[in-house]
Chains A and B, each alone.
Chain A
């Protein structure tokens, strides 16, 4: 029994042309038993920056609360919104603080940089080691499946609606092969002037 797959759940984020998308499944389980099918794992940080937290559900909620607190403190002190790259480092240092008693979560970050609208995605492991991919980032119990499908479907410079289709297909087909993920999905598509959030009609088994 691995702690990382105790509750199940998966996240994927993808870069498009002047847009990014981040998506998650909605399952919360206790090992093989599904407890809830409305458990969101992706949370807004600012109105153009989102963070996905797959892993142990108690830590998902605790970290969401801690990140909200730290981002609020940053906003008050700096009198400006936090940038994606800065937030990624905040995530990294928050996790590394618990180097020898970690939060069992592998965050995925997706957002647009201010002014330039440059897409930004990042992932860290559970102790905060940052990775900054240029194409897509995956995490959770279906991460290997997500890697395979994303590697096959993703292409550079996707327009927002094409990016939405790509990330949705990637997520759904990956979680359908994972017993610990699925039971619905939600996608957030971040563009320079709006965030479009859609829940997907997916397999419920």
Chain B
């Protein structure tokens, strides 16, 4: 019952993830940050099998950091996405596949373009204008079909994101009280309070 969204706008990407940590029917925690800042211009939401998620997210985080240190230059979003995807695709055909779904938001400083990648546990990779994982996708994608604007300002983008969140909070049977929202643009990654 996890849920994450992301949308691109003019020169930024917004990512949001719910903050529940649940085991079976029990809510263990309601302030879990399920996003990770991978590099100065790269942020990722992760969801899926508990255990796998944090393990894989940290594995990705350390490797992207390693690239940054080795090359004294951060890996660009498209290359990061390709590396993460390949890790999942290789994992899929291993004895213990990671069951983790990701949304990868980045800002490509070389071309001054916002980038958003939808990645699932199979290693499926798609570059998209907006994306969602979990049950929320059934509500959010149709809303975003209608309201997404690639040229929207940050304020307009946040307003669209709020639409998605409030729709999920209204119509999904599970109560997802709070969402952690982060934005990535030319200045890097920062958190946004809704």
Contact = CB atoms under 8 A, between A and B. Distances in A.
Contacts, number: 45
A61 B128 contact: no
Contact of A62 (B120, B123, B138, B141): B123
B137 interface: yes
Given A58-B92, A62-B89, A36 B123 contact: no
B128 A56 contact: no
Given A35-B126, A35-B131, A61-B125, A101 B93 contact: yes
A85 B95 CA distance: 36
Contacts of A65: 86
A114 B126 CA distance: 34
Contacts of B124: 7, 28, 35, 57-58, 61
A33 B86 contact: no
Given A38-B128, A58-B92, A30 B123 contact: no
Dominant secondary structure at the B interface: mixed
The A contact surface, by secondary structure, is: mixed
Contacts of B137: 33
A36 B122 contact: no
A43 interface: no
B7 to A, nearest CB: 14
Interface string B82-111: 000110110011000000000000000000
A74 interface: no
A56 B127 CA distance: 17
A67 interface: no
A150 to B, nearest CB: 28
A33 B141 contact: yes
B86 A28 contact: no
B5 interface: no
A154 interface: no
Given A30-B120, A35-B118, A36-B118, A58 B89 contact: yes
A56 B141 contact: no
B131 to A, nearest CB: 7
Interface in B139-179: 141
Given A61-B85, A61-B89, A38 B127 contact: yes
Given A30-B120, A58-B89, A62-B86, A36 B138 contact: no
A39 interface: yes
Interface in A46-96: 56-59, 61-62, 65
Contacts of B141: 33-34
B80 to A, nearest CB: 15
Contacts of B86: 62, 65
Query: What are the nearest 7 A-B pairs in CB distance?
Result: A58-B123, A36-B126, A58-B122, A57-B124, A58-B124, A36-B128, A62-B89
11 contacts: A28-B126, A30-B120, A33-B138, A58-B85, A58-B88, A58-B89, A61-B85, A61-B125, A62-B89, A62-B123, A65-B86
Interface of A: 7, 28, 30, 33-36, 38-39, 56-59, 61-62, 65, 101
Given A36-B118, A38-B128, A57-B126, 13 more contacts: A7-B124, A30-B120, A35-B128, A36-B126, A56-B122, A58-B92, A58-B122, A58-B124, A61-B123, A61-B124, A62-B86, A65-B86, A101-B93
